[in-house]
Amino acid sequence: MRTEQEMFDLILDVAKKDDRVRAVIMNGSRINPNAMKDIFQDYDIAYVVKETKSFREEKNWIEQFGERLYMQYPEENSYYPSDTDNCYGWLIQFADGNRLDLHVCTLTQVLKDMKEDRLCKILLDKDNYLPEIPPPTDEDHWVKKPSERQFLDTCNE
């Protein structure tokens, strides 16, 4: 299994070499200060790009990340509508045991996502497009007491 440092180096090296990638954002359990580390944690990465089409059409670009056991395309699932022009992803299980959830997203999409989820860390910003953000926090994911209406709606469901 590649080490965490090897995976970070690979993720950043690919981004630095590809002019279409302008920034790299990481979210999820690997940057959550309250999450326990384990071998099942994946790498939740968003490459900030100007467009997603070239990534979607160039199917083999993903091969540079390593030998895959399987790969899912969540944005192609008919049950979950998505805006592939602004965000497209690959959920990858590698033969060495590592998992990478990689998305290519436009700056507009990333800025929106960063407002909605503060469990986020900027790893690379080639153009200084991204705002300074506070340290990652999982506060947006804490269980909150529902309102009476939310509770009743859930019970009715």
Kindly report, residue by residue over 111-146, the tens digit of the pLDDT.
999 988 888 999 999 999 998 887 877 777 778 899
The two tokens of residue 115 are 């407002």
pLDDT-based confidence at residue 40 (cuts at 50, 70, 90): confident
Burial class (CB in 10 A: 0-12, 13-18, 19+), 55: buried
Q: How far apart are the first and last CA of the chain?
A: 44
Determine the Cα–Cα distance for residues 31 and 151; give it in Å rounded to an integer. Answer: 31
Q: What angle do CA 128, 130, 131 make, to 5 degrees?
A: 110
Which one is predicted more confidently, 155 or 20? 20
Write the pLDDT tens digit of every residue in 50-108.
999 999 999 899 999 999 999 999 998 888 889 999 999 999 999 999 999 999 999 99
pLDDT at 119: 87
Q: Which domains does the chain have, with CATH numbers?
A: 4-156 (3.30.460.10)
The predicted structure's pLDDT at residue 13: 98
Total-model pTM: 0.87
Answer whether 132's CB lies under 8 Å from 35's CB.
no
